[in-house]
Structure 1
Protein backbone atom coordinates (compact mmCIF):
# COMPACT_ATOMS: atom_id res chain seq x y z
CA UNK A 1 0.00 0.00 0.00
CA UNK A 2 2.87 2.37 0.81
CA UNK A 3 4.18 2.00 -2.74
CA UNK A 4 0.88 3.35 -4.02
CA UNK A 5 1.29 6.52 -1.96
CA UNK A 6 4.59 7.61 -3.49
CA UNK A 7 2.78 10.52 -5.13
CA UNK A 8 2.23 12.24 -1.75
CA UNK A 9 5.71 13.87 -1.46
CA UNK A 10 5.44 15.08 -5.06
CA UNK A 11 2.02 16.58 -4.41
CA UNK A 12 3.27 18.30 -1.28
CA UNK A 13 6.21 19.65 -3.27
CA UNK A 14 3.72 21.08 -5.77
CA UNK A 15 2.18 23.05 -2.92
CA UNK A 16 5.28 25.25 -2.70
CA UNK A 17 4.77 27.16 -5.98
CA UNK A 18 1.04 27.37 -5.22
CA UNK A 19 1.77 28.97 -1.85
CA UNK A 20 4.28 31.31 -3.49
CA UNK A 21 1.71 32.33 -6.09
CA UNK A 22 -0.84 33.01 -3.37
CA UNK A 23 1.56 35.22 -1.45
CA UNK A 24 2.37 37.12 -4.64
CA UNK A 25 -1.26 37.75 -5.61
CA UNK A 26 -2.51 38.51 -2.10
CA UNK A 27 0.40 40.79 -1.23
CA UNK A 28 -0.06 43.03 -4.23
CA UNK A 29 -3.86 42.96 -4.01
CA UNK A 30 -3.98 44.06 -0.35
CA UNK A 31 -1.73 46.96 -1.24
CA UNK A 32 -4.43 48.10 -3.68
CA UNK A 33 -6.81 48.66 -0.75
CA UNK A 34 -7.24 52.43 -0.48
CA UNK A 35 -6.07 54.15 2.67
CA UNK A 36 -3.04 54.06 4.91
CA UNK A 37 -2.86 51.43 7.69
CA UNK A 38 -1.06 53.99 9.84
CA UNK A 39 -4.17 56.18 9.83
CA UNK A 40 -6.33 53.22 10.92
CA UNK A 41 -3.93 52.40 13.77
CA UNK A 42 -3.70 55.98 15.05
CA UNK A 43 -7.42 56.63 14.71
CA UNK A 44 -8.51 59.96 16.17
CA UNK A 45 -4.91 60.78 17.13
CA UNK A 46 -3.76 60.72 13.52
CA UNK A 47 -1.87 63.81 12.44
CA UNK A 48 0.22 64.17 9.27
CA UNK A 49 3.43 64.00 11.28
CA UNK A 50 2.39 60.94 13.30
CA UNK A 51 1.07 59.16 10.19
CA UNK A 52 4.32 59.84 8.33
CA UNK A 53 6.42 58.63 11.28
CA UNK A 54 4.40 55.42 11.74
CA UNK A 55 4.38 54.75 8.00
CA UNK A 56 8.16 55.01 7.96
CA UNK A 57 8.44 52.81 11.07
CA UNK A 58 6.35 50.04 9.45
CA UNK A 59 8.26 50.32 6.18
CA UNK A 60 5.12 51.15 4.20
CA UNK A 61 6.85 54.00 2.40
CA UNK A 62 9.27 51.57 0.72
CA UNK A 63 8.66 50.32 -2.84
CA UNK A 64 6.09 47.50 -2.93
CA UNK A 65 8.61 45.10 -4.49
CA UNK A 66 11.03 45.75 -1.63
CA UNK A 67 8.23 45.22 0.89
CA UNK A 68 7.37 41.90 -0.79
CA UNK A 69 10.98 40.74 -0.67
CA UNK A 70 11.09 41.62 3.03
CA UNK A 71 7.86 39.63 3.52
CA UNK A 72 9.33 36.56 1.74
CA UNK A 73 12.51 36.78 3.81
CA UNK A 74 10.50 36.75 7.02
CA UNK A 75 8.28 33.96 5.70
CA UNK A 76 11.32 31.78 5.03
CA UNK A 77 12.11 32.08 8.76
CA UNK A 78 8.55 31.26 9.80
CA UNK A 79 7.67 34.86 10.55
CA UNK A 80 4.51 36.26 8.94
CA UNK A 81 4.82 39.62 10.63
CA UNK A 82 2.92 41.37 13.37
CA UNK A 83 -0.72 42.38 13.24
CA UNK A 84 -1.18 46.13 12.90
CA UNK A 85 -4.46 45.91 14.81
CA UNK A 86 -3.65 43.53 17.69
CA UNK A 87 0.09 44.19 17.94
CA UNK A 88 0.86 40.45 18.22
CA UNK A 89 2.44 38.00 15.73
CA UNK A 90 -0.17 37.05 13.12
CA UNK A 91 0.80 33.38 13.47
CA UNK A 92 -0.49 33.53 17.04
CA UNK A 93 -3.82 34.90 15.82
CA UNK A 94 -4.05 32.27 13.07
CA UNK A 95 -3.38 29.38 15.48
CA UNK A 96 -5.98 30.79 17.88
CA UNK A 97 -8.70 31.10 15.27
CA UNK A 98 -7.93 28.21 12.91
CA UNK A 99 -9.47 25.51 15.19
CA UNK A 100 -12.80 27.39 15.10
CA UNK A 101 -12.86 27.46 11.30
CA UNK A 102 -11.68 23.85 10.96
CA UNK A 103 -14.38 22.66 13.37
CA UNK A 104 -16.98 24.56 11.37
CA UNK A 105 -15.75 22.96 8.13
CA UNK A 106 -15.75 19.45 9.63
CA UNK A 107 -19.23 20.00 11.12
CA UNK A 108 -20.47 21.17 7.72
CA UNK A 109 -19.09 18.07 6.00
CA UNK A 110 -20.85 15.79 8.51
CA UNK A 111 -24.19 17.57 8.00
CA UNK A 112 -23.64 17.55 4.23
CA UNK A 113 -23.22 13.76 4.27
CA UNK A 114 -26.28 13.34 6.49
CA UNK A 115 -28.31 15.35 3.97
CA UNK A 116 -26.79 14.09 0.71
CA UNK A 117 -26.49 10.33 1.15
CA UNK A 118 -30.13 9.54 2.09
CA UNK A 119 -31.53 11.88 -0.57
CA UNK A 120 -29.23 10.40 -3.24
CA UNK A 121 -30.28 6.88 -2.28
CA UNK A 122 -33.93 7.93 -2.31
CA UNK A 123 -33.63 9.36 -5.81
CA UNK A 124 -31.51 6.54 -7.28
CA UNK A 125 -33.75 3.79 -5.90
CA UNK A 126 -36.60 4.84 -8.19
CA UNK A 127 -35.20 6.78 -11.21
CA UNK A 128 -37.87 8.71 -13.03
CA UNK A 129 -40.29 8.40 -10.12
CA UNK A 130 -41.91 11.36 -8.36
CA UNK A 131 -39.46 11.20 -5.47
CA UNK A 132 -36.55 11.16 -7.92
CA UNK A 133 -37.83 14.32 -9.60
CA UNK A 134 -38.45 15.90 -6.18
CA UNK A 135 -34.87 15.23 -5.08
CA UNK A 136 -33.48 16.47 -8.41
CA UNK A 137 -35.22 19.81 -7.85
CA UNK A 138 -33.15 20.34 -4.69
CA UNK A 139 -29.86 20.99 -6.54
CA UNK A 140 -31.58 23.51 -8.81
CA UNK A 141 -33.04 25.39 -5.86
CA UNK A 142 -29.98 25.02 -3.64
CA UNK A 143 -27.50 26.30 -6.21
CA UNK A 144 -29.61 29.40 -6.72
CA UNK A 145 -29.52 30.50 -3.07
CA UNK A 146 -26.56 32.62 -1.88
CA UNK A 147 -24.93 31.34 1.30
CA UNK A 148 -25.35 34.56 3.25
CA UNK A 149 -29.08 34.67 2.38
CA UNK A 150 -29.58 31.09 3.59
CA UNK A 151 -27.72 31.97 6.78
CA UNK A 152 -29.85 35.05 7.42
CA UNK A 153 -33.07 33.07 6.80
CA UNK A 154 -31.97 30.35 9.24
CA UNK A 155 -31.12 33.03 11.79
CA UNK A 156 -34.51 34.71 11.43
CA UNK A 157 -36.46 31.44 11.72
CA UNK A 158 -34.51 29.29 14.19
CA UNK A 159 -32.67 31.90 16.28
CA UNK A 160 -34.70 35.11 16.31
CA UNK A 161 -38.11 33.53 15.63
CA UNK A 162 -38.07 30.38 17.77
CA UNK A 163 -35.04 30.97 19.98
CA UNK A 164 -33.93 27.35 19.50
CA UNK A 165 -30.39 28.37 18.61
CA UNK A 166 -28.17 31.33 19.56
CA UNK A 167 -27.96 34.29 17.20
CA UNK A 168 -24.19 34.21 17.18
CA UNK A 169 -21.04 33.36 19.07
CA UNK A 170 -19.03 30.21 19.71
CA UNK A 171 -19.60 29.09 23.31
CA UNK A 172 -17.13 27.74 25.84
CA UNK A 173 -17.44 23.94 25.97
CA UNK A 174 -17.43 21.40 23.12
CA UNK A 175 -21.18 20.92 23.44
CA UNK A 176 -21.61 24.69 23.29
CA UNK A 177 -19.48 24.79 20.14
CA UNK A 178 -21.66 22.19 18.43
CA UNK A 179 -24.82 24.04 19.46
CA UNK A 180 -23.58 27.50 18.42
CA UNK A 181 -22.13 26.21 15.14
CA UNK A 182 -25.16 24.17 14.07
CA UNK A 183 -26.89 26.91 12.03
CA UNK A 184 -23.71 28.15 10.29
CA UNK A 185 -22.66 24.54 9.57
CA UNK A 186 -26.14 23.79 8.24
CA UNK A 187 -25.91 26.88 6.04
CA UNK A 188 -22.67 25.64 4.48
CA UNK A 189 -24.02 22.09 4.19
CA UNK A 190 -27.11 23.31 2.34
CA UNK A 191 -24.93 25.25 -0.09
CA UNK A 192 -22.71 22.28 -1.00
CA UNK A 193 -25.23 19.41 -0.74
CA UNK A 194 -26.83 20.04 -4.17
CA UNK A 195 -23.56 19.29 -5.96
CA UNK A 196 -22.95 16.14 -3.90
CA UNK A 197 -26.54 14.91 -4.35
CA UNK A 198 -26.34 15.30 -8.11
CA UNK A 199 -22.97 13.57 -8.32
CA UNK A 200 -23.82 10.75 -5.92
CA UNK A 201 -27.17 10.06 -7.58
CA UNK A 202 -25.52 9.75 -11.02
CA UNK A 203 -22.81 7.50 -9.58
CA UNK A 204 -25.41 5.27 -7.89
CA UNK A 205 -27.35 4.89 -11.13
CA UNK A 206 -24.17 3.75 -12.90
CA UNK A 207 -23.43 1.23 -10.16
CA UNK A 208 -27.00 -0.11 -10.27
CA UNK A 209 -26.41 -1.09 -13.91
CA UNK A 210 -23.23 -3.05 -13.13
CA UNK A 211 -22.96 -6.84 -13.31
CA UNK A 212 -22.11 -7.39 -9.64
CA UNK A 213 -25.30 -5.58 -8.57
CA UNK A 214 -27.30 -7.79 -10.93
CA UNK A 215 -25.61 -10.81 -9.36
CA UNK A 216 -26.44 -9.55 -5.86
CA UNK A 217 -30.06 -9.09 -6.88
CA UNK A 218 -30.20 -12.62 -8.27
CA UNK A 219 -29.06 -13.86 -4.85
CA UNK A 220 -31.96 -12.08 -3.17
CA UNK A 221 -30.32 -8.81 -2.13
CA UNK A 222 -32.55 -5.79 -2.38
CA UNK A 223 -33.72 -2.62 -0.70
CA UNK A 224 -31.48 -1.14 1.96
CA UNK A 225 -29.14 -4.13 2.08
CA UNK A 226 -28.43 -3.79 -1.65
CA UNK A 227 -27.69 -0.07 -1.37
CA UNK A 228 -25.66 -0.31 1.83
CA UNK A 229 -23.66 -3.40 0.87
CA UNK A 230 -23.07 -2.92 -2.83
CA UNK A 231 -24.28 0.36 -4.33
CA UNK A 232 -23.23 3.03 -1.83
CA UNK A 233 -19.84 1.45 -1.12
CA UNK A 234 -18.86 1.65 -4.79
CA UNK A 235 -20.77 4.78 -5.78
CA UNK A 236 -19.11 6.89 -3.12
CA UNK A 237 -15.64 6.47 -4.68
CA UNK A 238 -16.20 9.00 -7.51
CA UNK A 239 -18.02 11.26 -5.05
CA UNK A 240 -14.87 11.50 -2.92
CA UNK A 241 -13.23 13.65 -5.60
CA UNK A 242 -16.28 15.91 -5.77
CA UNK A 243 -16.27 16.36 -1.99
CA UNK A 244 -12.54 17.12 -2.01
CA UNK A 245 -12.86 19.74 -4.73
CA UNK A 246 -15.81 21.40 -3.03
CA UNK A 247 -14.06 21.54 0.34
CA UNK A 248 -12.11 24.47 -1.05
CA UNK A 249 -15.41 26.16 -1.88
CA UNK A 250 -16.63 25.27 1.62
CA UNK A 251 -13.62 26.94 3.26
CA UNK A 252 -14.23 30.04 1.15
CA UNK A 253 -17.84 30.04 2.30
CA UNK A 254 -16.84 30.07 5.96
CA UNK A 255 -15.18 33.45 5.47
CA UNK A 256 -18.58 35.09 4.94
CA UNK A 257 -20.70 32.83 7.16
CA UNK A 258 -18.47 33.41 10.17
CA UNK A 259 -19.15 37.12 9.91
CA UNK A 260 -22.92 36.56 9.56
CA UNK A 261 -23.00 34.43 12.72
CA UNK A 262 -20.32 36.38 14.64
CA UNK A 263 -18.01 33.36 14.90
CA UNK A 264 -14.43 34.18 15.99
CA UNK A 265 -12.72 32.22 13.23
CA UNK A 266 -10.39 33.01 10.36
CA UNK A 267 -13.23 34.41 8.24
CA UNK A 268 -14.11 37.08 10.78
CA UNK A 269 -10.42 37.82 11.23
CA UNK A 270 -9.94 38.24 7.47
CA UNK A 271 -12.87 40.61 7.01
CA UNK A 272 -11.90 42.68 10.07
CA UNK A 273 -8.31 42.84 8.83
CA UNK A 274 -9.37 44.01 5.38
CA UNK A 275 -11.39 46.90 6.80
CA UNK A 276 -8.56 47.76 9.20
CA UNK A 277 -6.00 47.50 6.37
CA UNK A 278 -4.09 44.99 8.50
CA UNK A 279 -1.95 43.66 5.65
CA UNK A 280 0.01 40.97 7.58
CA UNK A 281 -3.20 39.40 8.95
CA UNK A 282 -4.84 39.32 5.51
CA UNK A 283 -1.77 37.67 3.99
CA UNK A 284 -1.52 35.11 6.80
CA UNK A 285 -5.16 34.03 6.52
CA UNK A 286 -4.98 33.79 2.73
CA UNK A 287 -1.81 31.71 2.92
CA UNK A 288 -3.33 29.39 5.54
CA UNK A 289 -6.45 28.83 3.43
CA UNK A 290 -4.38 28.15 0.31
CA UNK A 291 -2.18 25.58 2.08
CA UNK A 292 -5.26 23.97 3.63
CA UNK A 293 -6.93 23.59 0.22
CA UNK A 294 -3.77 22.01 -1.23
CA UNK A 295 -3.53 19.56 1.70
CA UNK A 296 -7.20 18.65 1.27
CA UNK A 297 -6.47 17.88 -2.38
CA UNK A 298 -3.60 15.57 -1.40
CA UNK A 299 -5.76 13.88 1.24
CA UNK A 300 -8.53 13.41 -1.33
CA UNK A 301 -6.09 11.65 -3.67
CA UNK A 302 -4.92 9.42 -0.82
CA UNK A 303 -8.47 8.43 0.14
CA UNK A 304 -9.40 7.85 -3.52
CA UNK A 305 -6.34 5.65 -4.01
CA UNK A 306 -7.09 3.59 -0.89
CA UNK A 307 -10.76 3.15 -1.83
CA UNK A 308 -10.08 2.14 -5.43
CA UNK A 309 -7.05 -0.18 -5.87
CA UNK A 310 -7.26 0.25 -9.65
CA UNK A 311 -6.11 3.87 -9.38
CA UNK A 312 -2.36 4.51 -9.46
CA UNK A 313 -1.76 8.24 -9.15
CA UNK A 314 2.01 7.74 -9.24
CA UNK A 315 1.86 6.52 -12.84
CA UNK A 316 -0.62 9.24 -13.76
CA UNK A 317 1.65 12.00 -12.42
CA UNK A 318 4.68 10.54 -14.21
CA UNK A 319 2.83 10.24 -17.51
Structure 2
Protein backbone atom coordinates (compact mmCIF):
# COMPACT_ATOMS: atom_id res chain seq x y z
CA UNK A 1 0.00 0.00 0.00
CA UNK A 2 2.79 2.42 0.86
CA UNK A 3 5.07 1.52 -2.04
CA UNK A 4 2.36 1.19 -4.68
CA UNK A 5 1.14 -1.67 -6.84
CA UNK A 6 4.34 -1.79 -8.92
CA UNK A 7 6.72 -2.20 -5.99
CA UNK A 8 9.49 -4.74 -6.50
CA UNK A 9 9.93 -7.64 -4.03
CA UNK A 10 13.22 -6.21 -2.73
CA UNK A 11 11.50 -2.88 -2.00
CA UNK A 12 8.76 -4.66 -0.09
CA UNK A 13 11.33 -6.69 1.86
CA UNK A 14 13.25 -3.51 2.72
CA UNK A 15 10.04 -1.83 3.91
CA UNK A 16 9.18 -4.87 6.05
CA UNK A 17 12.62 -4.71 7.64
CA UNK A 18 12.43 -0.94 8.23
CA UNK A 19 9.03 -1.29 9.94
CA UNK A 20 10.16 -4.33 11.91
CA UNK A 21 7.52 -6.56 10.32
CA UNK A 22 10.05 -9.31 9.66
CA UNK A 23 10.39 -9.95 13.42
CA UNK A 24 8.21 -12.33 15.49
CA UNK A 25 4.91 -10.87 16.63
CA UNK A 26 5.81 -10.97 20.32
CA UNK A 27 9.00 -9.00 19.64
CA UNK A 28 7.11 -6.44 17.54
CA UNK A 29 4.57 -5.98 20.33
CA UNK A 30 7.22 -5.75 23.04
CA UNK A 31 9.15 -3.18 21.01
CA UNK A 32 5.97 -1.16 20.45
CA UNK A 33 5.09 -1.15 24.15
CA UNK A 34 8.64 -0.30 25.17
CA UNK A 35 8.75 2.69 22.83
CA UNK A 36 5.28 3.78 23.94
CA UNK A 37 6.11 3.68 27.67
CA UNK A 38 9.56 5.25 27.44
CA UNK A 39 8.98 7.93 24.80
CA UNK A 40 5.20 8.25 24.43
CA UNK A 41 5.60 7.53 20.71
CA UNK A 42 3.65 5.02 18.62
CA UNK A 43 6.30 4.80 15.92
CA UNK A 44 7.40 6.59 12.80
CA UNK A 45 4.68 8.03 10.60
CA UNK A 46 4.39 6.09 7.34
CA UNK A 47 3.33 9.15 5.35
CA UNK A 48 5.56 11.83 6.91
CA UNK A 49 8.59 9.65 7.87
CA UNK A 50 9.00 11.40 11.23
CA UNK A 51 7.98 10.63 14.80
CA UNK A 52 4.20 10.37 15.23
CA UNK A 53 4.49 12.01 18.65
CA UNK A 54 6.33 14.97 17.14
CA UNK A 55 3.56 15.46 14.56
CA UNK A 56 0.83 15.36 17.22
CA UNK A 57 2.72 17.75 19.51
CA UNK A 58 3.25 20.13 16.58
CA UNK A 59 -0.49 20.27 15.83
CA UNK A 60 -1.74 20.04 19.42
CA UNK A 61 -1.54 23.77 20.35
CA UNK A 62 -4.05 24.77 17.67
CA UNK A 63 -6.53 22.10 18.79
CA UNK A 64 -6.08 23.07 22.45
CA UNK A 65 -6.76 26.70 21.58
CA UNK A 66 -9.93 25.66 19.75
CA UNK A 67 -11.12 23.40 22.56
CA UNK A 68 -10.32 25.98 25.24
CA UNK A 69 -12.08 28.84 23.46
CA UNK A 70 -15.08 26.63 22.70
CA UNK A 71 -15.33 25.46 26.31
CA UNK A 72 -15.14 29.06 27.57
CA UNK A 73 -17.87 30.14 25.13
CA UNK A 74 -20.12 27.28 26.23
CA UNK A 75 -19.88 28.52 29.84
CA UNK A 76 -20.34 32.17 28.87
CA UNK A 77 -23.49 31.35 26.87
CA UNK A 78 -25.02 28.58 29.01
CA UNK A 79 -24.93 30.14 32.49
CA UNK A 80 -26.87 33.33 31.77
CA UNK A 81 -29.33 31.58 29.43
CA UNK A 82 -30.13 28.81 31.93
CA UNK A 83 -30.51 31.21 34.85
CA UNK A 84 -32.70 33.58 32.82
CA UNK A 85 -34.92 30.75 31.60
CA UNK A 86 -35.33 29.31 35.11
CA UNK A 87 -36.21 32.69 36.64
CA UNK A 88 -38.88 33.23 33.94
CA UNK A 89 -40.28 29.69 33.95
CA UNK A 90 -43.20 29.30 31.56
CA UNK A 91 -42.81 32.80 30.11
CA UNK A 92 -41.88 33.80 26.59
CA UNK A 93 -38.23 34.27 27.59
CA UNK A 94 -38.12 30.71 28.90
CA UNK A 95 -39.70 29.38 25.70
CA UNK A 96 -37.29 31.38 23.56
CA UNK A 97 -34.24 30.13 25.46
CA UNK A 98 -35.45 26.55 25.17
CA UNK A 99 -36.36 26.70 21.47
CA UNK A 100 -33.53 28.70 19.86
CA UNK A 101 -30.61 26.55 21.11
CA UNK A 102 -32.52 23.43 20.04
CA UNK A 103 -32.81 24.84 16.52
CA UNK A 104 -29.06 25.43 16.33
CA UNK A 105 -28.53 21.87 17.60
CA UNK A 106 -30.17 20.52 14.45
CA UNK A 107 -27.85 22.42 12.12
CA UNK A 108 -24.73 20.62 10.79
CA UNK A 109 -21.53 22.18 12.08
CA UNK A 110 -20.00 22.53 8.61
CA UNK A 111 -23.09 24.43 7.41
CA UNK A 112 -23.09 26.77 10.42
CA UNK A 113 -19.37 27.35 9.88
CA UNK A 114 -19.87 28.23 6.22
CA UNK A 115 -22.73 30.62 7.08
CA UNK A 116 -20.61 32.39 9.72
CA UNK A 117 -17.72 32.67 7.25
CA UNK A 118 -19.98 34.19 4.59
CA UNK A 119 -21.53 36.68 7.01
CA UNK A 120 -18.70 37.71 9.34
CA UNK A 121 -15.61 37.05 7.21
CA UNK A 122 -16.61 37.58 3.58
CA UNK A 123 -19.39 40.17 3.89
CA UNK A 124 -18.63 42.10 7.08
CA UNK A 125 -14.88 41.31 7.09
CA UNK A 126 -14.86 41.23 10.90
CA UNK A 127 -13.07 37.89 11.30
CA UNK A 128 -10.61 35.97 9.11
CA UNK A 129 -11.88 33.34 6.69
CA UNK A 130 -9.59 30.68 8.15
CA UNK A 131 -6.14 29.79 9.39
CA UNK A 132 -4.40 31.13 12.47
CA UNK A 133 -2.51 34.30 13.28
CA UNK A 134 0.55 34.67 15.56
CA UNK A 135 0.35 35.82 19.16
CA UNK A 136 -2.30 35.41 21.82
CA UNK A 137 -4.50 38.16 20.38
CA UNK A 138 -4.12 36.65 16.92
CA UNK A 139 -5.11 33.19 18.14
CA UNK A 140 -8.17 34.52 19.98
CA UNK A 141 -9.13 36.47 16.85
CA UNK A 142 -8.69 33.39 14.65
CA UNK A 143 -10.61 31.08 17.01
CA UNK A 144 -13.67 33.33 17.39
CA UNK A 145 -15.76 31.83 14.58
CA UNK A 146 -14.72 28.15 14.82
CA UNK A 147 -15.16 28.10 18.60
CA UNK A 148 -18.59 29.73 18.23
CA UNK A 149 -19.62 26.97 15.81
CA UNK A 150 -18.66 24.29 18.34
CA UNK A 151 -20.22 26.19 21.26
CA UNK A 152 -23.56 26.51 19.46
CA UNK A 153 -23.63 22.74 19.02
CA UNK A 154 -22.84 21.98 22.69
CA UNK A 155 -24.73 24.75 24.52
CA UNK A 156 -28.29 23.29 24.27
CA UNK A 157 -27.37 20.25 26.37
CA UNK A 158 -25.81 22.35 29.13
CA UNK A 159 -28.66 24.90 29.14
CA UNK A 160 -31.30 22.18 29.41
CA UNK A 161 -29.52 20.37 32.25
CA UNK A 162 -28.66 23.51 34.20
CA UNK A 163 -32.14 25.02 33.82
CA UNK A 164 -33.77 21.88 35.20
CA UNK A 165 -31.40 21.78 38.15
CA UNK A 166 -31.85 25.49 38.92
CA UNK A 167 -35.64 25.03 39.01
CA UNK A 168 -35.23 22.15 41.48
CA UNK A 169 -32.96 24.22 43.72
CA UNK A 170 -35.26 27.28 43.56
CA UNK A 171 -37.99 25.13 45.10
CA UNK A 172 -35.77 23.95 47.97
CA UNK A 173 -36.46 24.94 51.58
CA UNK A 174 -33.17 26.78 52.07
CA UNK A 175 -34.07 29.26 49.31
CA UNK A 176 -37.32 30.10 51.12
CA UNK A 177 -35.36 30.52 54.35
CA UNK A 178 -32.83 32.85 52.68
CA UNK A 179 -35.61 35.01 51.26
CA UNK A 180 -37.38 35.12 54.62
CA UNK A 181 -34.11 36.27 56.19
CA UNK A 182 -34.07 39.22 53.80
CA UNK A 183 -30.98 38.17 51.82
CA UNK A 184 -30.62 40.14 48.56
CA UNK A 185 -31.87 38.37 45.46
CA UNK A 186 -28.44 38.54 43.84
CA UNK A 187 -26.88 36.67 46.77
CA UNK A 188 -29.67 34.07 46.67
CA UNK A 189 -29.00 33.51 42.97
CA UNK A 190 -25.34 32.85 43.72
CA UNK A 191 -26.31 30.19 46.26
CA UNK A 192 -28.80 28.67 43.81
CA UNK A 193 -26.26 28.59 40.99
CA UNK A 194 -23.58 27.01 43.15
CA UNK A 195 -25.95 24.25 44.28
CA UNK A 196 -27.06 23.67 40.67
CA UNK A 197 -23.68 23.41 38.99
CA UNK A 198 -22.60 19.85 39.80
CA UNK A 199 -24.81 17.87 37.33
CA UNK A 200 -24.20 20.45 34.61
CA UNK A 201 -20.46 20.36 35.37
CA UNK A 202 -20.37 16.59 34.88
CA UNK A 203 -22.21 16.91 31.57
CA UNK A 204 -19.89 19.79 30.64
CA UNK A 205 -16.88 17.55 31.27
CA UNK A 206 -18.35 14.92 28.96
CA UNK A 207 -18.89 17.50 26.23
CA UNK A 208 -15.34 18.87 26.56
CA UNK A 209 -14.05 15.32 26.35
CA UNK A 210 -16.08 14.87 23.19
CA UNK A 211 -14.42 17.96 21.73
CA UNK A 212 -11.06 16.18 21.98
CA UNK A 213 -11.99 14.13 18.95
CA UNK A 214 -14.90 16.11 17.58
CA UNK A 215 -13.17 19.13 16.06
CA UNK A 216 -12.32 17.43 12.76
CA UNK A 217 -15.11 19.00 10.69
CA UNK A 218 -14.62 22.49 12.12
CA UNK A 219 -10.85 22.38 11.57
CA UNK A 220 -11.44 21.34 7.97
CA UNK A 221 -13.97 24.13 7.33
CA UNK A 222 -11.77 26.87 8.79
CA UNK A 223 -8.45 25.51 7.52
CA UNK A 224 -6.97 25.03 11.00
CA UNK A 225 -3.90 22.83 11.14
CA UNK A 226 -4.80 20.99 14.31
CA UNK A 227 -4.97 17.40 15.46
CA UNK A 228 -8.34 16.86 13.77
CA UNK A 229 -6.95 17.75 10.36
CA UNK A 230 -3.90 15.59 11.07
CA UNK A 231 -6.17 12.66 11.93
CA UNK A 232 -8.10 13.14 8.68
CA UNK A 233 -4.92 13.06 6.60
CA UNK A 234 -3.64 10.03 8.56
CA UNK A 235 -6.86 8.11 7.90
CA UNK A 236 -6.74 9.03 4.22
CA UNK A 237 -3.14 7.80 3.95
CA UNK A 238 -3.78 4.77 6.21
CA UNK A 239 -0.97 5.98 8.43
CA UNK A 240 -1.65 3.60 11.32
CA UNK A 241 1.13 4.73 13.71
CA UNK A 242 -0.07 8.32 13.40
CA UNK A 243 -3.71 7.30 13.91
CA UNK A 244 -2.67 5.43 17.06
CA UNK A 245 -0.78 8.47 18.34
CA UNK A 246 -3.75 10.80 17.83
CA UNK A 247 -6.12 8.32 19.51
CA UNK A 248 -3.76 7.83 22.46
CA UNK A 249 -3.21 11.52 23.17
CA UNK A 250 -6.92 12.26 22.79
CA UNK A 251 -7.61 9.49 25.32
CA UNK A 252 -5.09 11.01 27.72
CA UNK A 253 -6.82 14.35 27.27
CA UNK A 254 -10.18 12.79 28.14
CA UNK A 255 -8.68 11.31 31.33
CA UNK A 256 -7.20 14.71 32.26
CA UNK A 257 -10.56 16.44 31.73
CA UNK A 258 -12.34 13.80 33.83
CA UNK A 259 -9.89 14.31 36.70
CA UNK A 260 -10.24 18.09 36.44
CA UNK A 261 -14.05 17.82 36.53
CA UNK A 262 -13.87 15.59 39.61
CA UNK A 263 -11.61 18.10 41.37
CA UNK A 264 -13.84 21.02 40.38
CA UNK A 265 -16.90 19.12 41.60
CA UNK A 266 -15.25 18.67 44.99
CA UNK A 267 -14.49 22.39 45.20
CA UNK A 268 -18.06 23.33 44.30
CA UNK A 269 -19.91 20.76 46.42
CA UNK A 270 -18.34 19.54 49.66
CA UNK A 271 -20.57 16.45 49.56
CA UNK A 272 -18.49 15.15 46.64
CA UNK A 273 -15.36 15.37 48.79
CA UNK A 274 -17.21 13.60 51.58
CA UNK A 275 -18.24 10.73 49.29
CA UNK A 276 -14.71 10.44 47.91
CA UNK A 277 -13.25 10.31 51.45
CA UNK A 278 -15.83 7.72 52.47
CA UNK A 279 -14.96 5.61 49.43
CA UNK A 280 -11.27 5.73 50.29
CA UNK A 281 -12.04 4.80 53.89
CA UNK A 282 -14.19 1.88 52.78
CA UNK A 283 -11.45 0.69 50.45
CA UNK A 284 -8.97 0.68 53.36
User: Fold-level match, TM-score > 0.5?
Assistant: yes
From 152, 164, 175, the equivalent of 2:137 is 175
From 301, 304, 307, the equivalent of 2:262 is 301
From 49, 59, 76, the equivalent of 1:114 is 76
Displacement after TM superposition at 1:238 (Å) = 2.2
Q: Deviations over 1:216-262 (max 9, x none)?
A: 222334554432x2211221122111111111222222122112111
Q: Distance in 2 between matches of 1:88 and 1:160?
A: 37
Between the two proteins, the alignment pairs up a number of residues equal to 277
Q: Distance in 1 between matches of 2:24 and 2:165?
A: 50
Displacement after TM superposition at 1:74 (Å) = 2.2
Q: Distance in 2 between matches of 1:221 and 1:143?
A: 38
| TM-score normalised according to structure 1 size | 0.79
Displacement after TM superposition at 1:54 (Å) = 5.1
**Correspondences of 1:25-44 after superposition (within 5 Å):** 36-39=1-4
Q: Which runs of 5+ in 2 are unaligned?
A: none
Q: Deviations over 1:70-93 (max 9, x none)?
A: 432321332321122332211112
From 12, 19, 22, the equivalent of 1:59 is 19
Deviates more, 1:145-154 or 1:118-127: 145-154
| 1:257 correspondence with 2:257 | no
Q: Deviations over 1:111-163 (max 9, x none)?
A: 11111111111100011111111111134223322222222221222122322
Q: Distance in 2 between matches of 1:298 and 1:206?
A: 27
Q: Which residue does 1:30 correspond to in 2?
A: none
Q: Distance in 1 between matches of 2:247 and 2:233?
A: 13
Q: Which runs of 5+ in 1 are unaligned?
A: 1-35, 40-45
| TM-score normalised according to structure 2 size | 0.88
Q: Distance in 2 between matches of 1:256 and 1:212?
A: 46
From 64, 74, 77, the equivalent of 2:35 is 74
Aligned residues of 1:147 and 1:253 also touching (Cα < 8 A): no
Q: Which residue does 2:64 correspond to in 1?
A: 102
Q: Which residue does 2:7 correspond to in 1?
A: 48
Change (3 A) 1:197 1:172: same
